Amino acid sequence: MNKLEELSAKRKRAHAQMIASRSKVYEGFLAMEKAAYSDGALTKKQKELIAVGISVEKNCESCMQWHIEQAAGESASYEEIFEAIEIGIEMGGGPATVSARFALEVLESLGLQARQG
């Protein structure tokens, strides 16, 4: 199992455990997440791109994977996701370039590539 598959499996396992425990806090978090990423003045895609940049700045690999996958699922292009990663670098400075390396691995794993030309 590669690192990305392992992160996904851990996230799914933890999610199932939290649901099974009937955690009121986790239920509240899921409700907040649903509300936060609903289309409003910003689309879900735009919000996911914002989350990509924040994830890079925070150096949260699981977050990067999740939000890049969600952004791609909302038809974000390689270039859009790449620019969100760059915003994370700018906000986080040098340490965020290390996070960006992981974000680029996630993009690659999804088969997303820069358009030539």
Backbone angles phi and psi of 64, in degrees to 5: -60, -50
User: pLDDT tens-digit profile of 58-72?
Assistant: 999 999 999 999 999
What is the model's pLDDT at position 113? 87
Say what the pTM is: 0.86
Mean pLDDT of 81-107: 94
User: Is residue 44 assigned to a domain?
Assistant: yes
User: Is residue 117 assigned to a domain?
Assistant: no
What is the model's pLDDT at position 116? 81
H runs (alpha helix) in 21-60: 24-36, 44-58
> CATH number, domain at 74?
1.20.1290.10
Dig out the tokens for 89 from the structure.
């670098």
User: Is residue 98 assigned to a domain?
Assistant: yes
What is the model's pLDDT at position 115? 85
User: pLDDT tens-digit profile of 72-92?
Assistant: 999 999 999 999 999 999 999
How many angstroms separate the CA atoms of 66 and 71, rounded?
9
Sign of the alpha-carbon dihedral angle for 96, 110, 10, 53: positive
User: Is residue 116 assigned to a domain?
Assistant: no
Mean pLDDT of 99-114: 92
How many angstroms separate the CA atoms of 28 and 110, rounded?
30
Domain count, the chain: 1
User: Is residue 93 assigned to a domain?
Assistant: yes
User: Is residue 28 assigned to a domain?
Assistant: yes
* Domain containing residue 47: 3-109
